[in-house]
Chains A and B, each alone.
Chain A
Amino acid sequence: MASVGIQIRDLSVKYGDKPALREVSLDIPPNQIFGIIGPANSGKTTLLKCINRTIDFVTTASVNGSLLVGDQDVRRMRNVYELRRRIGMVFPLPVGLPMSIYDNVAYGPRMAGVRQRGELDVLVERCLRQAALWDEVKDRLTLLGTKLSGGQQQRLTLARALSLEPDVLCLDEFSIAIDPVTTMKIEEVLLELSREMTIVLVTNLVQQARRLAQNVAFFNSSRLVEVGETKQLFTKPREQLTFDYVTGNIG
């Protein structure tokens, strides 16, 4: 498995006149969990959108600066579909697409050209196992994905994100709509996965970042306030603002 890090230099994003990210420079090291914390509207989701270029669909957005995934300049890439296949994305709310559980996971690989039934079977099982969902759904793979419970759907979303064997996995507040037990399950899965892929974990739960991430970046009002090793950032932050946030005094 390739080790793919992300290098961000002077990245600025504006929605119309409203800045969403201001000159952010950040290195996300490969094959570990990188936590991004910060209050609402601090630019966390915008950063993820830049990574997989879904920012292109926000017509009012203007982007400046550079963003490298591995050695490829994302902003100059012609084939964005190829880029998005290399980057798995899990959204805050579970999204079971309106098709069977099996098809939900097989959707991405099919678009990428995998047609062999046997190959797909293996792939679907592997992803569902990785997402800790296989045992609960193996007998009803033809059920509509939207009929699963919220927590199961979120793991289905994760399985789908893993189906293309991404180099980078981005999670945007994945636990916001699911129960604590499922959250713990997914957290274990993420720790397992971080050995072979780069995981960007955007979260509102400061403690979640502390539990999982090796490095953490703190965003506030569209600026990167501080980035550092998790332990250092939570115990001896350089900035007063970071201290206030991680100790719960603001946010």
Chain B
Amino acid sequence: MATITGNLNERPTPARRGTSSLQRLGELAIESLIRLCGYSAILFVFGIFFFVFREGAPMLFGGLDLLKFFTSTDWNPVSKTPSYGILGLLAGTASVTVLSMALAVPLGLGAAVFVSEFCSPKIKEALKIAIEMLAAIPSIVWGFIAYMMLNPLIIWATGAPVGLNVLNASIILALMSVPVIVSVGEDALKAVPDSYREAALALGASRWEIVYRVLFPAAKNGLLAAVLLGIGRAIGETMAVLMATGNANQIPTSPLDRVQTLTATIAAELGEAVQGDDHYRVLFVIGILLFVIAFVVNLSADLIVRGIRGKQNA
């Protein structure tokens, strides 16, 4: 066993080889460069928020009836008396997100468990490559699949008049978020020490009992992060849902209803809105709202994770 001698508070004297000013200058340059890289992330986030906010602010603080904005389903920005109610769009985003997560979370976590615990190394490699490829498919291609393949399939299977609806978009979004959930979830499971598995095995646990009673509790923070990243992906996705939801602004009552999401509205209408007028600014207000949603999702993830840690330390 190693023993520590000497005063722990004593800082070791750095071994300086050459202290030429040129060397120090180089070191300073590299240090500032790395520092800049670190800070740039914060800079970009604030920068983006600033520009979105600047475009939306005039409408947000004047002219827009916020109560009506959130409680009315009447979205009619180009009529003579324009109305801006996003309840239908919110419901569209919410319904698609919830249903897609209901599909993606079991599928993604199940796949993560399989890849991490049950399959042979060869299959594992093949699966990981396939999952990475799934993650690399551009969203417009997913939209294409929704439009050309899933659409007729849903019509055939359910008898609905149109196959572009909540169900279609949810399936597509689920398939898009599964790779995220699998890869983050698998990392979380892999990080559980093998000694836990061995200890449970020695008690006569079957593999499933190990997963359920030992690995899930041990990896819950990482698994939660995986799910929330999946949700983030689903809320923010635009192109595929634009093509898959059928774009009808209404509150859905069944998975076969057509809906329109917040993101798709921005994508579809920003090009036609006159720069600087009310419609244009309201679309930016929706952008601010998406920002806030993303912030809340991340923050609650953080708080949940901290809550779990806090409880463990009690």
Residue of B nearest to A53 (CB): B201
Residue of A nearest to B311 (CB): A144
Decide if A81 touches B312 in the complex (CB within 8 Å): no
| Alpha-carbon separation in the docked complex, A146 to B313 (Å) | 10
CB-defined interface of B193-235 with A at 8 Å, one 1/0 digit per residue?
1011011111111100100011001100000000000000000
Q: Which residues of chain B are within 8 angstroms of A160 by Cβ–Cβ distance?
A: 199, 203
Decide if A111 touches B217 in the complex (CB within 8 Å): no
Decide if A107 touches B201 in the complex (CB within 8 Å): no
Contact of A206 with B by CB under 8 A: no
| Alpha-carbon separation in the docked complex, A83 to B201 (Å) | 11
Decide if A85 touches B203 in the complex (CB within 8 Å): yes
Decide if A54 touches B201 in the complex (CB within 8 Å): yes
Decide if A144 touches B198 in the complex (CB within 8 Å): no
Decide if A57 touches B196 in the complex (CB within 8 Å): no
- Count A interface residues, CB 8 Å: 30
Of the candidates B198, B201, B205, B313, the one having the most CB atoms from chain A within 10 angstroms of its own CB is B201
Q: Which residues of chain B are within 8 angstroms of A230 by Cβ–Cβ distance?
A: none
Q: Which residues of chain A are within 8 angstroms of B312 by Cβ–Cβ distance?
A: 144, 146-147
Q: Distance (Å) between the CB of A243 and the closest chain B CB?
A: 27
| Alpha-carbon separation in the docked complex, A83 to B202 (Å) | 9
Q: Which residues of chain A are within 8 angstroms of B204 by Cβ–Cβ distance?
A: 81-85, 108, 111-112, 164
Task: Identify which of B198, B203, B218, B314 contacts A107 (C-beta below 8 A).
Answer: B203
| Alpha-carbon separation in the docked complex, A82 to B312 (Å) | 33
| Alpha-carbon separation in the docked complex, A146 to B217 (Å) | 12
Known: A98-B214, A98-B217. A111 touches B209 (CB 8 A): yes
Q: Distance (Å) between the CB of A152 and the closest chain B CB?
A: 16
CB-defined interface of A86-104 with B at 8 Å, one 1/0 digit per residue?
0111010101011100000
| Alpha-carbon separation in the docked complex, A88 to B201 (Å) | 11
Q: Which residues of chain B are within 8 angstroms of A164 by Cβ–Cβ distance?
A: 203-204
| Alpha-carbon separation in the docked complex, A84 to B204 (Å) | 5
Residue of B nearest to A142 (CB): B314
Q: Distance (Å) between the CB of B312 and the closest chain A CB?
A: 5
CB-defined interface of B235-252 with A at 8 Å, one 1/0 digit per residue?
000000000000000000
Decide if A107 touches B200 in the complex (CB within 8 Å): yes
| Alpha-carbon separation in the docked complex, A95 to B202 (Å) | 12
Decide if B218 touches A111 in the complex (CB within 8 Å): no
Contact of A161 with B by CB under 8 A: yes
| Alpha-carbon separation in the docked complex, A160 to B205 (Å) | 13
| Alpha-carbon separation in the docked complex, A111 to B202 (Å) | 12
Contact of A32 with B by CB under 8 A: no
Residue of A nearest to B213 (CB): A107
Q: Distance (Å) between the CB of A82 and the closest chain B CB?
A: 7
- Which residues of A3-39 have CB atoms within 8 Å of chain B's CB atoms? none
Contact of A157 with B by CB under 8 A: yes
Q: Which residues of chain B are within 8 angstroms of A81 by Cβ–Cβ distance?
A: 204-206
Task: Identify which of A83, A84, A93 contacts B195 (C-beta below 8 A).
Answer: A93
Q: Distance (Å) between the CB of B209 and the closest chain A CB?
A: 6
Q: Distance (Å) between the CB of A112 and the closest chain B CB?
A: 7
Decide if B206 touches A54 in the complex (CB within 8 Å): no
| Alpha-carbon separation in the docked complex, A81 to B205 (Å) | 7
Decide if A95 touches B196 in the complex (CB within 8 Å): yes
- Which residues of A110-127 have CB atoms within 8 Å of chain B's CB atoms? 111-112
Decide if B203 touches A84 in the complex (CB within 8 Å): yes
- Which residues of B23-58 have CB atoms within 8 Å of chain A's CB atoms? none
| Alpha-carbon separation in the docked complex, A52 to B204 (Å) | 9
Q: Which residues of chain A are within 8 angstroms of B313 by Cβ–Cβ distance?
A: 147
| Alpha-carbon separation in the docked complex, A144 to B311 (Å) | 9
Q: Which residues of chain A are within 8 angstroms of B201 by Cβ–Cβ distance?
A: 54, 57, 84
Residue of B nearest to A99 (CB): B217
Decide if A84 touches B213 in the complex (CB within 8 Å): no
Known: A98-B217, A99-B213, A144-B312. A108 touches B195 (CB 8 A): no
Q: Distance (Å) between the CB of B66 and the closest chain A CB?
A: 45
Residue of A nearest to B217 (CB): A98
Residue of A nearest to B202 (CB): A89
Task: Identify which of A54, A93, A98, A143 contacts B202 (C-beta below 8 A).
Answer: A54
Residue of B nearest to A83 (CB): B204
| Alpha-carbon separation in the docked complex, A161 to B201 (Å) | 11
Q: Distance (Å) between the CB of A50 and the closest chain B CB?
A: 13
Decide if B198 touches A91 in the complex (CB within 8 Å): yes
Residue of B nearest to A82 (CB): B204
Q: Which residues of chain B are within 8 angstroms of A57 by Cβ–Cβ distance?
A: 201
Q: Which residues of chain A are within 8 angstroms of B196 by Cβ–Cβ distance?
A: 95, 97-98
CB-defined interface of A161-176 with B at 8 Å, one 1/0 digit per residue?
1011000000000000
Q: List 9 A-B contacts (CB under 8 A).
A: A81-B205, A88-B202, A89-B199, A97-B196, A97-B200, A98-B196, A107-B203, A107-B205, A111-B203
